[in-house]
Amino acid sequence: MFKNKDALTTNWKPENILHRDQQINELASILAPSLKGNDPSNVFLYGSVGTGKTLIVKHVTEELKSVADDKEIDVNILYINCKMKKVADTEYRLLAKLARQLGEDVPSTGLPTDEIYNRFFSALQDQKGVVVIALDEIDALVKKVGDEFLYNLTRINDDLEHTKVSILGISNDLNFTDYMDSRVKSSLSEEEIIFPPYNAIELREILKERTDKAFVDNMLMDGVISKCSALAAQEHGDARRALDLLRVAGELSERSESDIVEKRHVDMAQSKIERDRVVETVRSQPKHSKLVLYTILEMTSGEEDIATGDVYSEYKELCEELEVSELTQRRVSGLISELDMLGVINAKVISKGRYGRTRQISVDLSENIRGRLEQMVEEKFYI
DNA sequence: AGTCCACAGGAAGGGCAGGCGA
DNA sequence: TCGCCTGCCCTTCCTGTGGACT
- Among A261, A281, A301, the domain boundary falls at A281
pLDDT of residue A108: 65
User: Would residue A10 count as lying in a domain?
Assistant: no
Residue A112 beta carbon within 7 A of nucleic strand B: no
In angstroms, what CA-CA distances link A379 with A36, A85, A279, A294, A372? 64, 29, 14, 12, 11
Cα dihedral A178/A181/A183/A188 (nearest 10): -60
Same domain, A337 and A307: yes
* CB neighbours of residue A299 within 10 Å: 17
> Does the residue A174 lie in any domain?
yes
A134 and A273 part of one domain? no
Which contiguous run of DSSP H or E holds residue A277? helix A263-283
Q: Which amino acid is at A182?
A: S
pLDDT of residue A146: 65
Rounded Cα distance, A369 and A345, in Å: 12
Split at pLDDT 50, 70, 90, the class of A291 is very high
Torsions phi, psi of A255, nearest 5?
Answer: -65, -35
pLDDT, one tens digit per residue, over A318-341 is 999 998 899 999 999 999 999 998
A4 in any annotated domain: no
What is chain A's mean pLDDT, rounded? Answer: 87
* CA of A359, C1' of C14: distance in angstroms: 20
Q: How many Å from the CA of A330 to C1' of C12?
A: 10
**A83 CA vs B19 C1’ separation (Å):** 20
- Is residue A349 a contact partner of residue A287, using CB atoms and an 8 Å limit? no
> Closest residue to B19 by CA to C1' distance?
A109
Cross-strand partners of A129:
A163
Q: Could you tell me the CATH number of the domain that includes residue A227? A: 1.10.8.60
Residue A3 in this model has a pLDDT that exceeds 90: no
Q: Sort residue A28 into left (φ over 0), alpha (ψ -120 to 50) or beta.
A: alpha
- CA→C1' distance for A57 and B20 (Å): 36
d(CA A78, CA A58): 10
* pLDDT tens by residue, A58-98: 999 999 999 999 998 889 998 888 776 656 667 777 777 88
Question: What's the CATH code of the domain at A174?
Answer: 3.40.50.300
Asked if residue A215 lies in contact with residue A257, where contact means CB atoms within 8 angstroms, the answer is: no
Report, as an integer, the average pLDDT of A297-301. Answer: 89
The answer to whether A284 CB is within 7 Å of strand C is: no
Q: Are the CB atoms for A77 and A61 separated by under 8 Å? A: yes
What is the 3-class SS of A122-178, one letter each residue? HHHHHCCEEEEEEEECHHHHHHHHCCHHHHHHHHHHHHCCCEEEEEEEEECCCCHHH
Instruction: Give the residue with minimal CA–C1' separation from C4.
Output: A110
Name the closest residue (CA) to the C1' of nucleotide B6. A356
Which of A191, A204, A124, A135 minimizes the C-alpha distance to A164? A124
Rounded Cα distance, A195 and A27, in Å: 12
Listed in sequence order, the residues at least 6 apart from A154 whose beta carbon sits closer than 8 Å to its beta carbon are: A42, A167, A184, A187, A188
The pLDDT of residue A140 is: 73
Number of domains in chain A: 3
Q: Is the pLDDT of residue A280 over 70?
A: yes
Determine whether the distance from the CB of A319 to the nearest atom of strand B is below 7 Å.
no
* A169 in a structural domain: yes
- Chain segment A98-152, per-residue pLDDT in tens: 887 887 777 666 666 667 777 788 788 888 789 998 988 887 777 666 666 777 7
Q: Which nucleotide is nearest to A325 (CA to C1')?
A: C10
Domain residue limits at A253: 200-281
Whole-structure pTM value = 0.80
Strand B contact nucleotides, protein CB < 7 Å? 3-11, 19-22
Q: Are residues A240 and A91 part of one domain? A: no
A373 lies in some domain: yes
Q: How many C-beta atoms lie closer than 10 Å to residue A375's C-beta?
A: 11
Whether the CB of A331 is less than 7 Å away from nucleic strand C comes out as yes
Sheet of A346-351, strands arranged across: A306-307, A357-362, A346-351
| Closest alpha carbon to A157 in A134, A118, A125 | A125
Give the type of residue at A328. Answer: T
Q: Are residues A61 and A106 in the same domain?
A: yes
Same domain, A146 and A213: no
User: Is residue A12 domain-resident?
Assistant: no
Q: Are residues A257 and A236 in the same domain?
A: yes
Cα–Cα distance measured from residue A134 to residue A124, given in angstroms and rounded to the nearest whole number? 15
CB A90 under 7 Å to nucleic chain C = yes
Contact A347, A339 (CB under 8 A): yes
Same domain, A252 and A176: no
Does at least one atom of strand C sit less than 7 Å from the CB of A351?
A: yes
Question: Do A290 and A277 belong together in one domain?
Answer: no
Closest CA to A335 of A374, A293, A283: A293
